[in-house]
């Protein structure tokens, strides 16, 4: 999200209708899972949970923070009904490792 934040201005200016779902684990998830698997310090891979929904609003887009998946059907219904792009800042656990990363770690390829 941060590497391409300037594209939010393009989305707004050109009037694109896009739903951006940012799975926010508070850091560079792939990296901190690999560092943890190797018993290394993961602090440089964790940066916190910025309010991406507020960043969206700063670009004139809609934005929502999601901490409970039960709100997703209503938010999606609202997204479909309106004609603007929006960002969902979906808070996820930094303790759950994606299957593909688990396989990499299992094969002994912790840090890349």
Domain boundaries, the chain: 2-106
Q: Which fold has domain 2-106?
A: Rossmann fold (3.40.50)
Query: Looking at residue 38, what is its pLDDT?
Result: 83
Q: Which pLDDT tens digits describe the chain residue by residue (112 residues)?
A: 777 889 999 999 999 999 999 989 888 777 888 888 888 888 888 888 989 999 999 999 999 999 999 999 999 999 999 989 999 999 988 887 777 777 777 766 544 4
What is the phi-psi region of residue 103: left when phi exceeds 0, alpha when psi lies from -120 to 50, beta otherwise? alpha
Beta-bridge partner residues of 32: none
- Asked if 24 and 90 touch (Cβ cutoff 8 Å), the reply is yes
Can you give the pTM of this predicted structure? 0.79
**Is 24 exposed, middle or buried (CB count within 10 Å of its CB: 0-12, 13-18, 19+)?**
buried
C-alpha 105: how far from chain center = 22
| Strands 19-24 vs 86-91: parallel, antiparallel or unpaired | parallel
- Asked if 27 and 94 touch (Cβ cutoff 8 Å), the reply is yes
């Amino acid at each position: 999200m941060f590497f391409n934040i300037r594209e939010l201005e393009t989305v707004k200016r050109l009037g694109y209708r896009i739903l951006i779902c940012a799975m926010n684990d508070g850091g560079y998830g792939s990296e901190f899972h690999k560092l943890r698997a190797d018993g290394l310090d993961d602090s440089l891979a964790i940066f916190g949970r910025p309010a991406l929904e507020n960043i969206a609003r700063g670009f004139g887009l809609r934005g929502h923070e999601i901490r409970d998946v039960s709100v997703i059907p209503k938010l999606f219904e609202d997204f479909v009904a309106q004609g603007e792009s929006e960002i969902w800042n979906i808070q996820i656990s930094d303790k759950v490792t994606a299957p593909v990363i688990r396989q990499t770690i299992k094969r002994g390829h912790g840090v890349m």
